[in-house]
């Protein structure tokens, strides 16, 4: 059977609004939709092959290319209702609005006239932007604090990044008034959990060492650290963390007025004495710390208990350091 041959003039495009938007989005609209002359109306030839079918990728709906005005045939049926997407504006509504605006069915003017990529939504103004109170530098805040107020300041401190990872800021613990001030480096994991200094294995060794010279944290010694919050993974404190935290230690010294200070480990010794000398060269003699109030406090340097746990043969030297400290009473 021979089919009617009207194919010399290809048929009109027949795509629904969604398809047209899609073609535009993937940059193929010009290929698929060569515009018809002004007078032409898109028409569909009802019988089979009266026009050139265009092969299309699997996922793309077949369309028919219109070259010139076709024979007058039946008016095109209304475009098929597009699938709806939850939350999307129904295409039918935008189509009506756009027909009013641009005389072309189906495609919103905002999309038709667009030249660049789809506009991004305006960023939402942050509703919960918090206005921070001005920060008072630690050195200023501690100036007139008594010991209880100082403890509260340490517990609430956000002067450096270490506050982000801490469970507890560790102010210090011990006798007040005190005879000795013992200064370590920074809280470890156990200290961070419990909020007290030297409570892990190092702390047990420290208590035993103090007991050997007749001292205890309950009656004679106050124990604290240069840094009040645990550095993540027990890494060395950074210079800015030391700078932010050291006013607390200086105020503790000013308030406690200890007879002497026992500094444990290289880091604490170098920080307190303001030197980068080795611990080997710092221990075995008495240093002096001048306070802002004009007092001079004797300082004895010894090994950190954590080091002594790793190197027990050094305990003999630590014992000499303790005896040096005790002799000076
Ligand atoms: N190491 C320190 O330096 N300080 C502590 O409080 C505990 C371990």
pLDDT tens digits, the chain, 329 residues: what are they?
444 444 444 455 566 666 666 556 555 555 445 544 444 444 343 444 434 443 433 333 333 333 333 434 444 445 444 444 343 333 333 333 344 444 444 454 554 555 665 566 565 555 566 777 777 889 999 999 999 999 999 999 999 999 999 999 999 999 999 999 999 999 999 999 999 999 999 999 999 999 999 999 999 999 999 999 999 999 999 999 999 999 999 999 999 999 999 999 999 999 999 999 999 999 999 999 999 889 999 999 999 999 999 999 999 999 999 999 998 64
Backbone angles phi, psi at 302, to 5 degrees: -140, 180
Q: How far apart are CA 3 and CA 91, in angstroms?
A: 37
Q: DSSP string of 21-79?
A: HHHHHTT-HHHH-PPPPTT------SSTTSS-BPP--TTSPP-B---S-----SPPPPP
CA–CA separation, 202 and 187 (whole Å)? 11
pLDDT in tens, 34-71: 544 444 444 343 444 434 443 433 333 333 333 333 43
Is 202 close to ligand 1, i.e. is its CB under 6 Å away? Answer: yes
Report the nearest atom of ligand 1 relative to the CA of 267: 3
Pick from 226, 186, 184, 228: nearest CA to 206? 184
Strand partners, 137: none
Q: Which of 43, 20, 46, 17 is nearest to 33 (CA)?
A: 20
Instruction: Say if ligand 1 is within 6 A of residue 308 CB.
Output: no
CB 68 within 8 A of CB 74: no
Pairwise CA distance, residues 226 & 269, whole Å: 10
Please indicate whether residue 185, judged by its CB atom, sits closer than 6 Å to ligand 1: yes
Q: Ligand 1: which atom is nearest the Cα of residue 170?
A: 6
Contact between 270 and 276 under an 8 Å Cβ cutoff? The reply is yes
Measured by CA distance, the residue closest to atom 7 of ligand 1 is 198
Which residues have CB under 8 Å from 280's CB, separation 6+?
none
Q: State whether the beta carbon of 197 lies less than 6 angstroms from ligand 1.
A: yes
Distance, CA of 238 to chain centre? 19
**Contact yes or no for 158/132 (Cβ under 8 A):** no
How many angstroms separate the Cα of 329 from the Cα of each of 298, 317, 325? 11, 20, 8
Give the Å distances, CA to CA, from 135 to 139, 141, 152, 159, 250: 12, 10, 16, 9, 20
Ligand 1: residue of 188, 265, 310 to mutate (most ligand atoms within 8 A of CB) is 188
Q: Cβ(225) to ligand 1 under 6 A? A: yes
């Amino acid at each position: 059977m021979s089919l009617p041959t009207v194919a010399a003039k290809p048929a009109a495009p027949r795509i629904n609004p969604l398809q047209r938007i899609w073609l535009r989005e993937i940059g193929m609209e010009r290929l698929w939709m060569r515009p018809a002359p002004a007078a032409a109306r898109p028409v569909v030839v009802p019988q089979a092959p009266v026009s050139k079918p265009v092969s299309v990728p699997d996922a793309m709906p077949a369309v028919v290319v219109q070259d010139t005005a076709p024979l007058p045939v039946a008016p095109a049926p209304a475009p098929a209702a597009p699938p709806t997407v939850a939350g999307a504006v129904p295409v039918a509504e935008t189509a009506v609005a756009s027909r009013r605006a641009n005389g072309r069915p189906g495609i919103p003017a905002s999309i038709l006239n667009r030249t660049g990529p789809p506009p991004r939504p305006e960023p939402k103004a942050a509703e919960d932007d918090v206005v921070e109170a001005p920060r008072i530098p630690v050195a200023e805040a501690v100036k007139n604090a008594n010991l209880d107020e100082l403890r509260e300041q340490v517990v609430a401190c956000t002067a450096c990044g270490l506050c982000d990872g801490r469970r507890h800021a560790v102010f210090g613990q011990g006798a007040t008034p005190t005879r000795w001030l013992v200064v370590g480096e920074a809280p470890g994991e156990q200290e961070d959990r419990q909020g007290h200094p030297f409570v892990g294995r190092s702390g047990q060794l420290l208590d035993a060492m103090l007991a050997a010279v007749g001292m205890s944290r309950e009656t004679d010694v106050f124990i604290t650290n240069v840094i009040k919050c645990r550095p993540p993974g027990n890494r060395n404190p950074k210079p800015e963390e030391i700078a932010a935290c050291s006013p607390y230690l200086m105020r503790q010294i000013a308030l406690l007025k200890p007879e002497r200070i026992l500094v444990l480990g290289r880091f604490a010794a170098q920080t307190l004495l303001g030197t980068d000398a080795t611990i080997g060269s710092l221990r075995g003699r008495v240093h002096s710390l001048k306070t802002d109030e004009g007092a001079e406090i004797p300082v004895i340097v010894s090994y950190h208990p954590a080091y002594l746990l790793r190197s027990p043969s050094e305990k003999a030297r630590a014992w000499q350091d303790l005896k040096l400290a005790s002799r000076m009473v």
